[in-house]
Each structure stands twice: as C-alpha cells, then as structure tokens.
C-alpha cells in the first residue's frame, strides 16, 4: 500500500501505469476522461470498475505506449506519447464507440496522445486524454480517401518521430483560387436565344407581329368562360300532329271544284300532276 507522505507525483504516476485499477491512487472524487469520446468515470471506486472493463484487456484491445515528452510540477503533469491499439475483437467503446465490427477486426491504429494530470495531496485528482479522433477513423477506412477531407492519418506519428525533418505544408499551398475556372465561368451578360435567361433589350417585341384583320372576330379571353350567343328558334311545321286525310271519290263538278279549292288553299296539299290528294275517311272505333 502506498504511503501518501513518502510518494512523489512522479512515483504516483509510475504506479498508475503499472496498476491503474488501484483505488489508493485516486481521490474520492477523482475523474478519468477520454475527451474525444466523452467516455470516463468519476470516483475512485467507479474508476476501478472502469479500468476492469474487458475492452481494456490485453486480450481484446492491447495498447502499446511510447512516451516522447513529460513535463511535471508539484501538482501538474503533461505528457506526449504515441499509442498503438490492435483490435482483436469488433468492439472498443472507449476509443471508437459505435463503429461497426468490420472496420475493427484485426486492425491496428497509431496516433499521438496528450495526457493532462492533476495531483491533490499526493493522489490523482483528474486525468484527461486528448487525441485526434478523425485520424483514427481515417486509418480504419471509415473516412475514405475519396472524401478528400483535411485529415491526417498515421502520418501524425511520423511527424513526432521526425519533427526536425518532416515535410511541412505552408499556408499558401492550401489556399484555393477564388476565381472560377474559365471553362466553367458563366457570363452575366444577356444570352440571345435563351428562353429562360435574361432577354436583350434589342430582342424585345414593341408591337404585335401580325396586324389584326378588319373582319376578324372580336378578341376574347380564352381563360374566361363566355356563354354562346342566342340563336333564333326554328319554326315547326304547323298542325304537324293534327293533320288528317280522307279517301273518297267525287265525280263531276264536285271533283273539279275540290281540285280548285285545294290549289287556292295552301293548307290542303295537292297531289302530283295537279291531282287532288285522295282523302281517306276511316272510323277506327267501328
């Protein structure tokens, strides 16, 4: 068991790396937080349970650490390191929560990590881990090269190893021209013959193309209903249903007078060749 009066912050930090599940390393309200994923625990008992989770096991997701730089004071510690994580299973919720197993199985990612530690009364009060989550997603092919996002993958690790010789990108190389390409530029001037673009004032029609004819029908609005003009009714044949005829035989003068009367009276039709139409009298009742 560690004695609070005999341990220094450096020794306490070394003890944490060898056995981070020990409750004696932390204060009662200590906090451990992985900032990029917001995964963590609060309280020394919860921190112990947190690091006992199977996702921290070497059988599931072993982590190899290479420390590059450590700055320490009486109550503060800043450390730069490189983590290499290999995924034996398809889950690692503290590093890549929610990522499908097909991206993780047998994959390895390497990324720089910055660690910030606060000590209170020779115990750990808080630990915060920072890394570039986009770099991990790019190494796992979640972010593909086709997207062309400004994300650096494993090359971030190379930058720490060869900080004095790594090729640097200058700001003027990252700027894109604001002027459009000549092949894709569109003129703001009016386009002749374009039915949807702006119309040149010279193409405007000032008068009607075709003069109206003198005997042309009056102009009407085709989108407004207008009732048709009234037409005069056709006169029906008089006494169409009340006409009758009779069949009889007149001889002598009576026959001649009957013909003359029918010729002079248009209401009684005359037969062909001046002969009177025979009148037929028939009692349908009996």
248 within 8 A of 281, measured Cβ to Cβ: yes
Q: What size, in residues, is the chain?
A: 286
Q: What pLDDT was estimated at residue 286? A: 45
> Is pLDDT at 85 greater than 80 in this prediction?
yes
Query: Which of 65, 129, 154, 136 has the alpha carbon at shortest distance from 99?
Result: 136
All structural domains of the chain, each given as residue ranges with its CATH number in brackets, are 9-166 (3.10.450.50), 246-281 (no CATH)
Name residues whose C-beta falls within 8 Å of residue 219's C-beta, 6 or more positions apart in sequence: 212
Q: Hey, how many other C-beta atoms are within 10 angstroms of the C-beta on 182?
A: 6
Give the β-pairing of 76-86 and 63-72.
antiparallel
If you compute the radius of gyration of the chain from its CA atoms, what whole number of angstroms results?
54
40 within 8 A of 34, measured Cβ to Cβ: yes
Per residue in 206-245, pLDDT tens?
A: 655 566 667 767 666 666 666 776 766 655 555 555 555 4
Per residue in 160-216, pLDDT tens?
A: 888 888 888 888 766 555 555 555 444 555 455 555 556 666 666 665 556 666 776
44 within 8 A of 74, measured Cβ to Cβ: no
Question: What is the Cα–Cα distance from 276 to 261, expressed in whole angstroms?
Answer: 10
> Any idea which residue has 């989550």 for tokens?
133
Per residue in 10-47, pLDDT tens?
A: 999 999 999 999 999 999 999 999 999 999 999 999 99
> Any idea which residue has 């000590």 for tokens?
119
24 within 8 A of 134, measured Cβ to Cβ: no
From residue 74, alpha-carbon distances to 27, 68, 87, 120, 122 in Å are: 16, 20, 37, 9, 9
Name residues whose C-beta falls within 8 Å of residue 283's C-beta, 6 or more positions apart in sequence: none
Give DSSP secondary structure letters for 189-228. S--TT-SSSPPPGGG---S-SSPPPTTPPPP--TTS--PP
Beta bridge partners of 119: 124
List the strands of the sheet with 108-120, edge to edge.
Answer: 39-42, 26-34, 123-130, 108-120, 76-86, 63-72
Question: What is the Cα–Cα distance from 2 to 20, expressed in whole angstroms?
Answer: 13
Name residues whose C-beta falls within 8 Å of residue 5's C-beta, 6 or more positions apart in sequence: 122
Per residue in 122-170, pLDDT tens?
A: 999 999 999 999 999 999 999 988 888 989 999 999 888 888 888 888 8
Give the β-pairing of 26-34 and 123-130.
parallel
Residue 284 confidence class, pLDDT cut points 50, 70, 90: very low
Query: Which of 118, 114, 124 has the alpha carbon at shortest distance from 22?
Result: 124
């Amino acid at each position: 068991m560690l004695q609070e009066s005999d341990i220094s912050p450096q020794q306490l930090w070394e003890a944490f790396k060898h056995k981070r599940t020990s409750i004696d390393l932390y204060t009662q309200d200590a906090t451990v937080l992985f900032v990029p994923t917001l995964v963590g625990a609060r309280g020394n008992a919860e921190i112990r349970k947190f690091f006992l989770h199977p996702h921290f096991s070497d059988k599931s997701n072993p982590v190899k650490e290479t420390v590059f730089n450590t700055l320490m004071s009486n109550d503060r510690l800043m450390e730069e390191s490189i983590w290499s994580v290999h995924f034996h299973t398809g889950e690692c919720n503290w590093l890549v929560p929610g990522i499908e197993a097909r991206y993780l199985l047998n994959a390895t990612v390497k990324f720089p990590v910055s660690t910030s530690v606060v000590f209170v009364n020779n115990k750990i009060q808080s630990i915060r881990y920072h890394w570039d989550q986009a770099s991990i997603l790019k190494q796992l092919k979640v972010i593909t090269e086709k997207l062309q996002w400004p994300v650096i993958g494993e090359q971030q690790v190379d930058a720490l190893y060869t900080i004095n010789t790594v090729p640097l990108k200058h700001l003027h190389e990252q700027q894109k021209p604001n002027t459009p390409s000549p092949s894709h530029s569109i003129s703001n001037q009016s386009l002749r013959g374009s039915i949807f673009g702006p119309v040149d004032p010279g193409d405007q029609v000032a008068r009607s193309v075709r003069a109206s004819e003198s005997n042309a029908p009056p102009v009407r609005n085709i989108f407004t209903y207008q009732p048709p003009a009234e037409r005069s009714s056709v006169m029906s044949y008089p006494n169409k249903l009340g006409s009758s005829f009779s069949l009889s035989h007149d001889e002598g003068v009576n026959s001649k007078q009957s013909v003359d009367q029918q010729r002079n009276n248009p209401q009684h039709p005359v037969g062909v060749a001046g002969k009177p139409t025979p009148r037929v009298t028939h009692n349908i009742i009996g």
